A and B are shown apart, each in its own frame.
Chain A
Amino acid sequence: MSNLLHFSEHALQEVALILMATVYFLRIRWFMKWPLGKERQPATGLGDTNPKKGARYSLANIAMPWAMESTRSKPFMYAQFVVFHLGVVAAITLSFIIPYGPGLLKSSSLVALIQGLTGTACIVGFMRIIRRISNPYIRAISSPDDHFSLILLTSWFAFAFLAAPNDISGGEGFMLTYFLLTAFFLMYVPFSKISHYLYYPFTRTYLGRSFGRRGVFPIRRKPAYQRSI
């Protein structure tokens, strides 16, 4: 292994991780400084839900494609979402396995799993790039950050797929690119829309608490139990 690859796998990743954590910390601190809007209203609804239940439902929404019309009516989009995000998990995991537990990659089934996830995520990434460019609605709302983040992630999936066997006998090119992209990714993410997952727990919890208090979440689509008087 060359010194450059070793540096990319270790020191560079560690610095990038520290930078990412620092920016995340600052971002959360900035976010928490905004005043929390207070709900003074007495609870509404049938009384079979509450802020906690609403928040749990809201947070779990991600795993309930039937809960929202937008995901229920577009199962293929939801499947893409799942594949894409599983690809992210696989590619991140790989960036820790190669430097800190390379022995794990002796398992051909683990390599196949990572390649399966990152490979399909890469295909989904391409589909999303096409959608972002060709769909007039998505194109109209896209920022340079949206395009760049998507291209970055799709390329990263491709190199994760190639790096997964952890084999540098044919050259270090794929491996080096994968780790350089990972480091860049770690440093770029906090400044980009990719950091949406940082806000997800907050936005969904706040919405869920409010809608739980108001009897809206969980959403009903069939007759509920009758008010007992």
Chain B
Amino acid sequence: MNTEKNKRSYKAQKVIDRMGQKLTRQMVGSLTACVHCGMCTDSCHYVLANPGDPTFAPAYKADKIRKLFKQHYDWTGKVFPKWVKAGSVYTDEELQELKDIVFGKCTNCRRCTVNCPMGVDLATFNRMARGLLCHVGIMPEGVEYVAKEQWEIGNQMGVLKEDYIETVEWQEEELQSEMEDPTAKIPIDKPDSNIVYVINPREIKHDPRSILDAAKIFYAAGEDYTMPSEGWDMTNFGLFNGDDELGGAVAGRVYDKVEELRGKKLVISECGHGYRSTRCEGPNWAKKDITFDAESSVITMLEYIKQGKIKVDKTKNPGSYTFHDSCNNARSCGLTEEPRELLSLVVEDFREMYPNRAENYCCTGGGGAMSMAEYRPSRLKSAKIKADQLAATGTKTVVTSCHNCVDGLTDLIGHYKLGMDVTQLVNLVANALVIDDIVEENKKKYAEKEEVSSGSAQ
């Protein structure tokens, strides 16, 4: 055994040792139960886009992780290693090869999971393998960079607190202007609010319109809400790099802030992995039972319409729309019906794409793939499946509830020249808002006030 250990690089040995600490019974079941039936093969968009190449098959990729488990933790592999294809890793080069599989050939979309007759959950142990590699510093550069930002600055895009507040204040001014209400606010750190609204840093950096749109909806609904000054990033690279500690720390920051502000409900803006991380996995990683309600902003917006808190006019969103289910929302959180119901309330022409819901194909930018520049050519090649699926809908706009999918879809739409737009529900709901009467009333109210104040000044 010592000889065996001596042959192995320091990092390879660390990976083997740590695997034993990360395995759960669910994972061991998945690692043991595969019968190599191959039923998962056609479920993977990488396979479909690379016909004839078995190295993309989910079971093949899984076996690259499974062989380590069999060799070191399953006694059949210890006794008959070659018979059951058990094997080990010895060099850092072999770890690099494993990195290219777990990061570069799988988006952890879980489509193979829902298609496996045995219930093998490849995505879960693929994530574990990512975590083992990250622990010894073997990961795509982009993943390393983003994870570092999230550890050190508190959000995945390295947005400084000053920039965050400045952007929110800028959107507040826009809100005041659009609503003709100089007192309209996007509150920050307001204690005892009904809602604490957390967002994706992409909204600060690249899409502040989404913040304004959400603010308009909250304003129209008369909602008592706040955005936190810290712990506002609901995204979580711990989901992508398999680092439970990072996952727990990031989710914990959000939970702590909601508790500090005594918020009644945490509302998570549209983001598949953010919703999954904050709503579903975060309590597991942080080992914390959350004491407040948490929901997707999709549900919040839908409730506003159904409760009559906001009015919408679907004719304001002309054109044809289809809906792309984020893998994390659909296959890991069951969020499939609410976005459809909401979409059908704010657009006139909604056309389903096929397959859909939990059977939908990944946008191909999932699992952190958008941050892994080295795999972009392979990602875009695999995106052919999604491109064909989008084109078949014959629509002009694809709607999704995920910032990551927005980027992934935008990239592939450009690459395959589909000429489609990508938008989110928050943008469509805000655009469909019937707020002319509110704006008119505000205009009158503040014009009168101005008259009174100018009169009293004279």
Contacts and interface: CB of A to CB of B under 8 A. Distances in A.
Interface of A: 30-32, 34-42, 44-46, 49, 58, 61-62, 68-71, 73-74, 77, 81, 135-146, 148, 191-193, 196, 199-200, 202-204, 206-208, 210-211, 214-216, 219-221, 223-224, 226-227, 229
B358 to A, nearest CB: 5
Contacts of B82: 144
A144 B82 CA distance: 8
Contacts of B42: 70, 73
B448 interface: no
B418 to A, nearest CB: 24
B83 A144 contact: yes
A41 B39 contact: no
Q: Label chain B's interface by main secondary structure.
A: helix
Nearest to B79: A191
A192 B74 CA distance: 12
B33 A36 contact: no
B289 A62 contact: no
A30 to B, nearest CB: 7
Nearest to A73: B42
Given A214-B280, A227-B299, A220 B358 contact: yes
B38 A229 contact: no
14 contacts: A44-B279, A68-B114, A69-B359, A70-B115, A71-B39, A138-B38, A143-B36, A191-B79, A196-B118, A214-B334, A215-B333, A216-B334, A219-B357, A229-B302
Given A44-B334, A140-B54, A36 B36 contact: no
B331 A216 contact: yes
A42 B306 contact: no
B290 interface: yes
A203 B83 contact: no
B33 A220 contact: no
Given A31-B29, A141-B36, A227 B335 contact: no
B359 A219 contact: yes
B95 to A, nearest CB: 21
Given A45-B335, A46-B338, 15 more contacts: A40-B284, A42-B279, A61-B119, A74-B39, A77-B39, A141-B36, A144-B83, A145-B83, A199-B32, A203-B29, A203-B119, A207-B121, A216-B332, A219-B358, A229-B306
Given A141-B63, A221-B357, A41 B279 contact: yes
A43 B6 CA distance: 47
Nearest to B302: A227
Contacts of A208: 119
A223 B340 contact: yes
B75 to A, nearest CB: 7
B458 interface: no
Contact of A206 (B119, B294, B330, B334): B119
A145 to B, nearest CB: 5
Contacts, number: 199
B23 interface: yes
A221 to B, nearest CB: 7
Nearest to A67: B114
Among all A-B residue pairs, the 7 with the closest Cβ atoms = A215-B334, A45-B334, A140-B54, A37-B24, A40-B283, A70-B115, A143-B85
B336 interface: yes
A219 B334 CA distance: 9
Nearest to B28: A34
Nearest to A46: B337
B177 interface: no
Given A62-B117, A206-B26, A196 B35 contact: yes
Contacts of B60: 137, 140-141
Given A40-B283, A216-B331, A219-B358, A70 B39 contact: yes
A229 B307 contact: yes
Nearest to A212: B334
Contact of B41 (A137, A216, A227): A137
Contacts of B121: 203, 207
B388 interface: no
Contacts of A206: 25-26, 29, 119
A30 B294 CA distance: 38
Contacts of A214: 280, 332-334
B96 interface: no
Contacts of A38: 284
Contacts of B36: 138, 141-143, 146, 193
B245 to A, nearest CB: 16
The CB with the most chain B CB atoms within 10 A, among A70, A77, A143, A193, is that of: A70
Contacts of B299: 227
The CB with the most chain A CB atoms within 10 A, among B54, B119, B120, B279, is that of: B119
A219 B75 CA distance: 36
B337 A226 contact: yes
A143 B70 CA distance: 13
Interface in B98-143: 113-121
A141 B54 contact: yes
B119 A207 contact: yes
Given A143-B36, A191-B76, A32 B25 contact: yes
